[in-house]
Amino acid sequence: MLRSWADGAARDAIIAFVEAVSSGPDALPESDRVAVFDNDGTLWTEKPMPTQLHFIVQQWAAAAIADPSLAEQQPYKAAVNGDFAWLGGAVDKHYAGDDSDLKVMIGAILASTANESVEQYAAAVTAFYRDAKHLTLHRPYAQAVYEPMVELLHYLEANGFTNYIVSGGDRDFMRPMTVDYYGIPAERVIGSALGLNYDEAANEVRYGTAFDFMDDGPVKPVRIWTRIGRRPILAAGNSNGDIQMLRYAQGSPRSLSLLVHHDDDTGRGDEPYDKGAEQALAAASEHAFTVVSVKDDWSTVFPQQVDG
């Protein structure tokens, strides 16, 4: 039980909360034990850039090779030159409220998937997960998950919770891996989404040329309600875009909101950073978020590396 968690206030708070809502005369019914988790930076590493961006960069680089005129335009230029700073910076700017570069990236994403069937996209993503390795850890993405958070998912499930992913990342990019990595089925993945169309002649669902919605910030509670129809009692996130989700859970009579703080300077592979989480960290005390220190609360960060 939570073997990768160090003894301390965060672990104690989790255990006390789970025991209070899952046992004894005041236990909540299992239908009310809903937990929601952000993905990037909460369940797995998001630096030097989110995993989906790694996948997309490969697509953009291939597009620039096929059409060299693209190589001088962002984000294709960054993809060709391996400019992770520009790509990661676009995500950081989004969390700071500036979506100018993110809009450029979304336009290129739409161009890369237009008219592709959902099955074709799922096959490409599955192949990526099979072959790709994390850019700095140099291990498969299956081994770049946060071991303590995966243990938490299993602990909650063993105590009658239903876990959902609620992420700003693309729903269809996450679905091919969530069962194997987290034990969460595809139908419990809530994320951002590209527009879809039904091609009646081909009997296919295909991606269109418009963005449907960005599942971040105040959109997260809305998407939780529309997809689940219940207010969660536990929420976990790590960034400014998770504040509203963490607070939404606190509308339940009993709740726990966890904020993962990337403060580890011990060289265990999760580099410390606060960028993109400044507002969340500042709000933690006011809103009684339970801050989870990667440095102090996790005795292990990643699973033991397995060759092959």
C-beta atoms surrounding 277 within 10 Å: 23
Residue carrying the six token digits 């418009």: 210
Question: Are 164 and 184 in contact, with CB atoms under 8 Å apart?
Answer: yes
CA 18 to centroid of chain Cα atoms: 23
The crossing angle, in degrees rounded to 10, of helices 51-66 and 118-131 is 110
CA 166 to centroid of chain Cα atoms: 7
Residues ≥6 apart with Cβ < 8 Å to 41: 47, 238, 239, 260, 262
pLDDT tens, the chain, 308 aa long: 899 999 999 999 999 999 999 998 889 999 999 999 999 999 999 998 889 989 998 999 888 899 899 888 898 988 888 887 887 788 788 878 898 988 888 888 888 899 999 999 999 999 999 999 999 999 999 999 999 999 999 999 999 999 999 999 999 999 999 999 999 999 999 999 999 999 999 999 999 999 999 999 999 999 999 999 999 999 999 999 999 999 999 999 999 999 999 999 999 999 999 999 999 999 999 999 999 999 999 999 999 876 65
Domains along the chain?
9-46+145-297 (3.40.50.1000), 51-131 (no CATH)
pLDDT of residue 308: 52
Token readout for 73 is 């335009």
Residues ≥6 apart with Cβ < 8 Å to 224: 36, 164, 166, 190, 231, 232, 245, 248
What Cα–Cα distance (Å) separates residue 165 from each residue in 38, 150, 260?
Answer: 6, 12, 15
